Structure formats: structure tokens, C-alpha cells
């Protein structure tokens, strides 16, 4: 009996830890199933952040005896072969600027998440990424990707995980950056991306892109 109570408490603690990192993309029931099946928390976090919802496939692979490293590799391969979120429209990018080569570049970036839209906002979280890739996921939506360190990202308490989305909005601002980043992209108050935010928060991304035409694409879509 004590063993069962301890197991339930361990599962609940794990769920709370995952919830503190990010909002749910996977249901609570599925989180419990994954934890009970022995899926490591770093893989559960990756699934949640990448909006990977094929929980049954992961459970079947685990039940069949596949190693955790193999399961993670399969998840990443699935994400590359299909849109990472069901909310994206299943249509090719027809934007002329994106097809002309403006829609993809490597970049050094720094993501900042602020509380309250004011002259001196409080910084909640930030993360610098030296080897990011910026692309156009769909018309008007930017996708920021980088090599996620998995377990080490959790140990280092990285607040954000790849991929990170940005829906270009008319209230967004492109301007000069600072601290070695020549450009800045700042969200409007009502910006919605992934992770999304609300009226009390906003995002800033400092950019040092290899190809500055991505900035032209952003400005054309404001």
C-alpha cells in the first residue's frame, strides 16, 4: 500500500515539474501514462514542447523494448516529416518572398520573455542560442530551431525548447538590437506564438542573421 502511495506521489511531482516548465501540449492522462511506462522526463518535456501528440506510438515502442534513445530519435524523425502542430495549415508556403530565398537563414539569437508592457519591464526568462535556424513555417509564421540538448537543457534550466514559433503581427516592431545583436524583433501586447503569451507579457528576440533578407520578409508582413 505504501509503495502505491509513493508511486502516485512520484508521478504527481513529475507532472508538476513538467507543468512548471511549460504549458500542456499533452493531456494530464497521457503524461501519467508516459511516466508509468518509464519514459524519461526529458523525453516527455521534448514531446510537450514540440507539440508531439502521438503518445500511443511512444507507449507501444516502450512496451516493445526499444531504448529511450531510439524512441527519441523516432520522435524527432516524425517531427521532421510532418507539421509540428495541428494548428498549422497543411499547405505549402506560397509567399513569393519566402520562395525567393528570404524565408530561411542561420542566426545567432537571444530570446527574452518580459512581464508587463512598460518602459521598464521585468524580465522573466531569457536564453541565448548561437546556432539557431530561422525559417518560414507558413505565411506570416516564423520558426526558430536549434539543437536541443535534451536532458542537459533541463539540468541547465534552459527556459525555452526548440522549435519556437512567432506569428508576425502588425503590432510587432523590428529595430536596432544591442550587445552584439544588430537587430531586434519585439512583439506587440497581443502577440501569440509558441509558447504563446497574454496581455501581460511580451517577447523580444535579438537577432544576428547570416542572411538579412529574413528581416525584409518580416517587415513586409507587419
- The answer to the question of residue 95 being in a domain is no
Distance CA 30, CA 56 (A): 9
What pLDDT score does 1 carry?
60
- Domain's final residue, options 81, 115, 141: 81
What pLDDT score does 50 carry?
75
How many domains does one find in the chain? 2
What pLDDT score does 108 carry?
95
- The answer to the question of residue 179 being in a domain is yes
Domain coverage including residue 50: 2-81
Which residues is 152 bridged to in the sheet? Answer: none
CATH number at residue 116: 2.30.29
What pLDDT score does 193 carry?
53
What pLDDT score does 133 carry?
94
Q: Identify whether residues 66 and 111 lie together within a single domain.
A: no
- The pTM assigned to this predicted structure is 0.52
Q: Identify whether residues 42 and 140 lie together within a single domain.
A: no
The residues of the chain scoring below 70 in pLDDT are 1-25, 81-103, 116-119, 148-157, 189-201
What pLDDT score does 144 carry?
92
Q: Identify whether residues 206 and 107 lie together within a single domain.
A: yes
- The answer to the question of residue 207 being in a domain is yes
C-alpha dihedral over 115, 189, 145, 125, to 10 degrees?
A: 0
Q: Identify whether residues 75 and 159 lie together within a single domain.
A: no
Q: Identify whether residues 60 and 108 lie together within a single domain.
A: no
- The pair phi, psi for residue 106, each rounded to 5°, is -85, 160
Which H or E run contains 80? helix 68-81
What pLDDT score does 128 carry?
92
Q: Identify whether residues 107 and 210 lie together within a single domain.
A: yes
- The answer to the question of residue 92 being in a domain is no
Q: Identify whether residues 162 and 201 lie together within a single domain.
A: yes
Q: Identify whether residues 133 and 174 lie together within a single domain.
A: yes
pLDDT tens for 142-191 read 999 998 665 545 545 677 778 888 888 888 889 999 999 999 998 875 55
Distance CA 37, CA 215 (A): 45
- Domain's final residue, options 81, 110, 127: 81
- Domain's final residue, options 81, 111, 140: 81
Which H or E run contains 19? helix 2-21
Q: Identify whether residues 161 and 200 lie together within a single domain.
A: yes
Q: Identify whether residues 57 and 119 lie together within a single domain.
A: no
- The answer to the question of residue 89 being in a domain is no
Amino acid at each position: 500500500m505504501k509503495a502505491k502511495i509513493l508511486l502516485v506521489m512520484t508521478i504527481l511531482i513529475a507532472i508538476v515539474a513538467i507543468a512548471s516548465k511549460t504549458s500542456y501540449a499533452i493531456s494530464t492522462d497521457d503524461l501519467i501514462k508516459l511516466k508509468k511506462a518509464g519514459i524519461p522526463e526529458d523525453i516527455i518535456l521534448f514531446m510537450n514542447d514540440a507539440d508531439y501528440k502521438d503518445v500511443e506510438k511512444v507507449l507501444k515502442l516502450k512496451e516493445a523494448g526499444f531504448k529511450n534513445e531510439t524512441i527519441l530519435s523516432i520522435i524527432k524523425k516524425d517531427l521532421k516529416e510532418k507539421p509540428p502542430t495541428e494548428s498549422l495549415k497543411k499547405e505549402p508556403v506560397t509567399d513569393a518572398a519566402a520562395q525567393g530565398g528570404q524565408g530561411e537563414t542561420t542566426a545567432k539569437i537571444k530570446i527574452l520573455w518580459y512581464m508587463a508592457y512598460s518602459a521598464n519591464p521585468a524580465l522573466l526568462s531569457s536564453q541565448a542560442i548561437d546556432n539557431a535556424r530561422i525559417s518560414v513555417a507558413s505565411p506570416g509564421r516564423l520558426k526558430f530551431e536549434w539543437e536541443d540538448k535534451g536532458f542537459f537543457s533541463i539540468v541547465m534550466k534552459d527556459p525555452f525548447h526548440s522549435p519556437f514559433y512567432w506569428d508576425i503581427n502588425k503590432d510587432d516592431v523590428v529595430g536596432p538590437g544591442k550587445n552584439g545583436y544588430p537587430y531586434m524583433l519585439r512583439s506587440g501586447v497581443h502577440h501569440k506564438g509558441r509558447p504563446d503569451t497574454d496581455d501581460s507579457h511580451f517577447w523580444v528576440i535579438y537577432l544576428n542573421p547570416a542572411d538579412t533578407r529574413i528581416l525584409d520578409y518580416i517587415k513586409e508582413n507587419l
